[in-house]
Chain A
Amino acid sequence: MPSRTLIRAGFLTLALALLALFGASLARAAADDEEVRATLAQLRDADFDGKTELIEKLVTLNHSRVAAILQALSDSRLYFQEDPERIVIGSGDGAEIAIEDAVSGEALGQAGKRGLDRITANNRLRSLIENRLAGLGLASADPQQRKAAVEAFLRNPDPVGAAPLRARLEVETDTGIKELLALALALADLASDDATVRAKAATALGGQMQTEIRGPLTRMAAEDSDPAAREAARIALTRTEFRLQMLGWAETLFFGLSLGSVLILAAIGLAVTFGVMGVINMAHGELMMLGAYTTWLVQQWLPVNWSLPVAVPLAFLVAALVGIAIERGIIRFLYGRPLETLLATFGVSLILQQAVRSIFSPLNRSVASPDWMSGTILLGPLEVTLNRLVIVGFCIAVFAVLWLALQRTRLGLEVRAVAQNRAMARAMGVRSARVDALTFGLGSGIAGVAGVALSQLTNVGPNLGQSYIVDSFMVVVFGGVGNLWGTLVAGLSLGVANKLLEPWSGAVLAKILVLVFLILFIQKRPRGLFPQRGRAAEV
C-alpha cells in the first residue's frame, strides 16, 4: 500500500521537524556551559553562606547538569581538580577514582585523589540541596519524578522551598500528585508563624500515617505555644492513631484469612472423606505430604515458574491414586468400624512417612517459589505478600471447584446419595463400591493439591503431614461434619482467632488456647457449628 507508506513518511518528517524546532528553543533558553563553569569556580573558596547563595544561583540557571552537580555536592563527590583546573564529579572508592567533567558530563578517565580537592558541604547545605532538587524535579514532565520530588520535600520540609510547590499545585493535573502536594504544603505550614495557619495545617494532616508527618504533629501537640494549635494537632494525631489501628486490624484479618485458607485447604479433603463418607483417614496429612513432594519432584524437571500449574494436577493424581489404593486395600473392609479405620489409616500414615524418609532422605527439601508468587503488593494502604494472596485465591478456587463437583456432576450426586442413605442409593442402582473409591480418591486428591500450596509456605519434609492432622480434624469437627460451608467458616474463623490471639499471647499459646476452646466447644456442641439434622445424622 504505497499511499499509506507515504502518509507515514510524511508524519515522520513532520515530527522530526517539530522536534528539531523544540530542541533549538530549549538550547536558547538554557544557560550556556560557561555561565555554569563560572558559578562553579566560585564554589571552591566560598564559605557555607556563600555556597548557599551559589546553590540558589545554580538552580536559577536552568542547565541540564545542575541536578547532577548538586547531587554530587550533597554526596561529597564534587571535586576541584588542580591540573588542569576544572570542577569534576568523582565516583568510586579508593586512591584512584573515575571522574567526569561537571558541566559537560564527559568522562575524563581515572584520577588520583591526591590531585583532587573535595568541595565540602554540611547538613544544612544538604537539606537545602534536597529541597532545591525537589523543586527541579517538580518541573519534570515525568509524573514519577514529580512524585519523587514531592516525597523528597515531605522527608525534608522547608518553608522556603514551599513556593515552587504552591506554584506547581496550581498547574498539576495528576490527582495523586496534587494530594501529595497539598500534604507537603500543609507540612510546610506547620512551621508557619501564624497559629491559625498551623492549626489548619495540622487538621489537614490528620489521618496521614507517614512518620514524616506524625513526627512534627507529635512535637506540635506537645510543644506548640498556641493552645488551639496544640489541640488541633492532638485531634489530628487521634485520627492518625485510629487509622493506624484500623490498618493493624486489617493486617491481622488478612493474616488470619491466609492462615484460615491453609487450614481450609488442609481440612477440605477431610471434609469429603470424613464428612461425606464417615471415614476417619489419619493418613490425610501424609497425602498432603505426597502432594508437596510431587511439587518438589516437578521442580527438578521444570523451571520454577512453570512448575506449579503442572504440579497441581499431578499432585491431585498422585494423592488420589494412593487414596484409592488405601480405600480399596484397607478401608473398604472396615466400613462401620470407625475406630478400627482410624488405627489402620494411622498405620498407613507411618508407612508413608517412613517411605518418604527412605526415598528422599529425612531432611527437609526446599521448594522454590515462582517469581509471580514472590514480592509484595499494595491492597489500598495494606502491603501484602503475594504468596499469601495467591494461597487465599487458590483456596477459594479449590473450594469452588469441589463445591461444583459435588453439586453439578453425576459423581457428586451419587456421592451425596450414598452419604445420605447407602442402602437406598444402592437400590437406585448406584454402585456404592465405585462411589466410595472415587469419593475417597477425590478427598485424597484435594489433600495432594493442598500439599502443593503448603510447599509454598513451609518446609517440605516427612513430618509435614503430622503437623496439620490435628488442626484439620478440628476444623472439620468445628464446622460440623458433612457440611462443606461449615468447614469454610470454621477454617476462616479459627485462622482469624489464632492471629488475633497471637500478638496478645504469642504463637504457641494462641494455638493451645484455640485447641482448648475447640475441645470445650465440641463438648458443648458435639455436632459442630452447622450440624446435620434429621434421621441421617442419627446413624
Chain B
Amino acid sequence: MSELISELDAAGMHPPVGPVDATHGILLYLEGVSVSFDGFKAIDNLSLYIGDGELRCIIGPNGAGKTTMMDIITGKTKPDTGRVFFGQTIDLLKLDEPAIARAGIGRKFQRPTVIEPLTVLENLELAMSGAKRLRGLMTTRLSGEECDRIAAVLDRIGLTEHGGRLAGILAHGQKQWLEIGMLLMQEPRLLLVDEPVAGMTPAEMDRTAELLRSLAGSHSVVVVEHDMGFVRSIADQVTVLHQGRVLAEGRLDELQEDPTVIEVYLGAGDAYH
C-alpha cells in the first residue's frame, strides 16, 4: 500500500531520469537483444548503435523484426535478454513507455495516429513536453512561450494554415506530418519513425524527406521504410534486418551490391523501386 501511495505522489508523477549523456557520440545502444513469442525468435541477438544526430534507415523484409525492435526501444515489449541503453546512463529496460517518452524518445506509428476529434493545435498542445504533470494538466490556457513553440512546430511541418482544423479531416500526408510534429513537441533526442511515407504522393514524399533531413543533426532519427527510393533520398547509413538479426550495415549503394542482401531482400524484387 505504501508503495502505491508513494508511486502516486503527485510530485513523483514520473521517476527522475537525468539528462541523456551522449558523450561517446552514441545515443542508443542495443546489445545482444533477443525476444521470442511462442518459440518464434522475433529478435535474435540483435546489436545496433545509433550515433548522436545520425539519420539511420532500417530496411528488411516482412517479419524481420523492425516493429518489434521499436517496441523494445519504446518499452512496449520487454526483451528476454540483452541491454538497451539511451546514452551512457539511462537503462531503458527499467522504464515504462511514458518514462521512455519523457526521457526523450518519440515514436511515430506505422499507421498515422493523431487524435482525430481534436484540432491540429490541440494535438500539438497534447504532445507538448513539460505539461504532463497533474498540475500542468488542470489548466485551459497556454502561456505565450508555449504558443511560440507550437507556432514554430506548425511552421516546420507546414500546417500553419490548418492549426484550427480537426485532425480527422486532414489529408493522409498531413496526418503523417502532424504526427511528426507531435513528436517534435516532445523535444526528443531520438525519433523513431515507422513508414513515414506509406501512401504519400511523390511531392509529399519529397517534403517529408526534407523534413526528416532537417531534423538530423539536432536529433537522431531512425526511419523504418520499405520505399527504396525514399531511403536513398534521405539516409547515409542503412541497416538491413533479417530474421531478427543485423544482416548488413553500410551505404545503400554498397548494400545493393552485397550478395547476401540481394538474396534475402532485394532479390525479392517487388520492394525495390
Contacts and interface: CB of A to CB of B under 8 A. Distances in A.
Q: Do chains A and B touch in the complex (CB under 8 A)?
A: yes
Interface of A: 533-534
Nearest to A532: B38
B1 to A, nearest CB: 16
Interface string B28-58: 0000000001101000000000000000000
B35 to A, nearest CB: 12
Contacts of A534: 37-38, 40
5 contacts: A533-B37, A533-B38, A534-B37, A534-B38, A534-B40
A421 to B, nearest CB: 14
B5 to A, nearest CB: 19
Contacts of B40: 534
B69 to A, nearest CB: 15
Nearest to B40: A534
Nearest to B67: A535
B4 to A, nearest CB: 14
Going nearest first, the 5 A-B pairs with the smallest beta carbon separation are: A533-B38, A534-B37, A534-B38, A533-B37, A534-B40
State which size class the interface on B falls in.
under 10
A533 B40 CA distance: 11
Contacts of A533: 37-38
A322 B228 CA distance: 53
Contacts of B37: 533-534
A534 B42 CA distance: 10
B62 to A, nearest CB: 11
Contacts of B38: 533-534
A533 B42 CA distance: 13
A117 B249 CA distance: 120
B127 to A, nearest CB: 24
B221 to A, nearest CB: 26
A1 to B, nearest CB: 74
Interface in B203-245: none
A455 to B, nearest CB: 42
B126 to A, nearest CB: 23
A533 B77 CA distance: 13
Nearest to A533: B38
A534 B77 CA distance: 12
Nearest to B63: A535
Nearest to B38: A533
A534 B38 CA distance: 7
A219 B239 CA distance: 88
B41 to A, nearest CB: 13
Interface in B161-210: none
A107 to B, nearest CB: 84
A533 B37 CA distance: 7
A522 B40 CA distance: 26
A534 B37 CA distance: 6
A533 B38 CA distance: 7
B39 to A, nearest CB: 10
A534 B63 CA distance: 12
B121 to A, nearest CB: 29
B138 to A, nearest CB: 28
B238 to A, nearest CB: 26
A290 B204 CA distance: 59
B244 to A, nearest CB: 15
A525 to B, nearest CB: 16
A6 B38 CA distance: 80
B77 to A, nearest CB: 11
A534 B41 CA distance: 11
A337 to B, nearest CB: 16
A534 B40 CA distance: 9
Nearest to B39: A533
A533 B39 CA distance: 11
A397 B73 CA distance: 49
A502 B219 CA distance: 63
B225 to A, nearest CB: 21
A480 B273 CA distance: 44
A528 to B, nearest CB: 16
A533 B35 CA distance: 14
A212 B40 CA distance: 65
B29 to A, nearest CB: 27
B43 to A, nearest CB: 14
A205 to B, nearest CB: 56
A534 B35 CA distance: 12
A483 to B, nearest CB: 13
A86 to B, nearest CB: 92
A296 B38 CA distance: 48
A292 B37 CA distance: 44
A329 B244 CA distance: 46
B76 to A, nearest CB: 10
A339 B221 CA distance: 38
A489 to B, nearest CB: 19
B21 to A, nearest CB: 34
A26 to B, nearest CB: 81
B233 to A, nearest CB: 31
A157 to B, nearest CB: 64
A534 B36 CA distance: 10
B200 to A, nearest CB: 23
A162 B176 CA distance: 99
B118 to A, nearest CB: 21
